[in-house]
Chain A
Amino acid sequence: MKRTLIVGLGGIGGYLAEPLARYLDSSGLCRELVLADGDVYTASNNDRQSMRLEELGVNKAIAHAKRLSRSFPRISIRSCPEYVSERSIDGLVVEESVIFLCVDNHATRKLFSDHCRRLDDVLLISAGNDLTDGNVQVYWKVNGIQRTAPLDKHHDEIRFPTDRNPAELTCEELASLPGGGQIIFTNLTAASLALNAFYAAMTSKLSYGEVYFDVLTGRSNALVRR
């Protein structure tokens, strides 16, 4: 693994960052962690996201990079305080990257899906949730061979996104984006399942390409994706 990225440090990415950094630090699997997010912490984030009050107004990627650097000095932790776009993805996502994609829009998922298809060795883990349910998708390619399906292969909402990459929006458009209701426990479940998929891939035991979960029924369902 050359590089590990977390894209989106909101409800899901903000909770998987520390356990991931801790695991990378102790295992020595990868010594480079890049955090990318164009958003800043606002007061309304405090009810659900992993923020500290002194981080109000601070870019989320920068805030997490500072925290993690203090705790895990053996890893090189860098922040990319902007939304990933077609312009920036080439420099960020390189061969032998592991990407935790924790965004809330299909346009960015498509961007990453298309880019990762062009690589030979990549592990892309995409997590998303609605109010009380969600899913984690895994795209895994080793030596040019796809072990699981690309994110958009069976998901038309990703293949033909009707939303837009935040990198393309003006500040006014970003501010007017509707926020859905979310629950911290759903975010935590998505983060945990994303980390589970990562561990399964690292130990060559990954047998699924997607897992759905529902926090109200307690059910999860791992499915093959070819």
Chain B
Amino acid sequence: MARIICGTNELDDARWDGKTIAEIRRECKSFLNIPDGARVLLNDDEFVGTEDRALGSDDELEFVKASGEKGYSPSPRFLIPSREEPNRPEPDVPARPIWIWTTPDNDSGGIAIAA
């Protein structure tokens, strides 16, 4: 079965056998996160030809992902706040309480403070 690769994403599925490179690029773009204009390698070699070439069951097709630079990425950036976007709207999520346990002087138990 044909193998399709983009970065760390891979597909091994006989359903792609016989599909053209153009069809695969279009149908797998979202699933494999294929960058616009990504260069194509066929069986580890630079592909020279038109993208209406159909994939054989032994073929390996790669859409080359660009080298990383400066931290810009299509990955979601919600993990850390961006210092470069001062007008970024606040997420619509209620604040969660922060529980701080303090050690009481008389050992009667912890005290939870919701902030």
Q: Enumerate chain A interface residues (CB-CB to B < 8 A).
A: 104-106, 109, 126, 128-135, 137, 151, 153-158, 163, 178-183, 190, 212-214, 216-217, 219-221, 223-226
Contacts and interface: CB of A to CB of B under 8 A. Distances in A.
B94 interface: no
A150 B80 CA distance: 35
Given A181-B77, A217-B8, A223-B5, A133 B68 contact: yes
Contacts of A180: 69-73
Contacts of A104: 69-71
B70 A179 contact: yes
Given A137-B67, A158-B67, A221-B7, 16 more contacts: A128-B68, A130-B70, A130-B73, A131-B77, A132-B73, A133-B8, A133-B73, A135-B65, A155-B39, A155-B66, A156-B37, A156-B39, A190-B68, A212-B7, A214-B8, A221-B5
B75 interface: yes
B75 A216 contact: yes
A181 B80 contact: yes
Contact of A181 (B5, B64, B65, B71): B71
A36 B15 CA distance: 50
A110 to B, nearest CB: 11
B69 A105 contact: yes
Contacts of B46: 153-154
Interface in B1-15: 5, 7-10
Size category of the B interface is 20 to 34
Contact of B69 (A106, A217, A220, A224): A106
Contact of B67 (A106, A131, A181, A219): A106
9 contacts: A135-B67, A153-B46, A181-B82, A182-B70, A182-B71, A183-B79, A183-B80, A212-B65, A223-B44
Given A157-B66, A181-B71, A133 B7 contact: yes
B92 interface: no
Contacts of A154: 39, 41, 46, 64
Contacts of A130: 68-73, 75
Interface string B64-108: 111111111101010110111000000000000000000000000
A24 to B, nearest CB: 26
Contact of B44 (A132, A156, A212, A224): A224
- CB-based closest 9 A-B pairs: A180-B71, A130-B73, A128-B68, A180-B70, A182-B71, A134-B68, A129-B68, A219-B8, A131-B73
B70 A178 contact: yes
Nearest to B72: A180
A131 B69 CA distance: 9
Contacts of A157: 66-67
B45 interface: yes
A182 B10 CA distance: 25
B69 A212 contact: no
Contacts of A105: 69-70
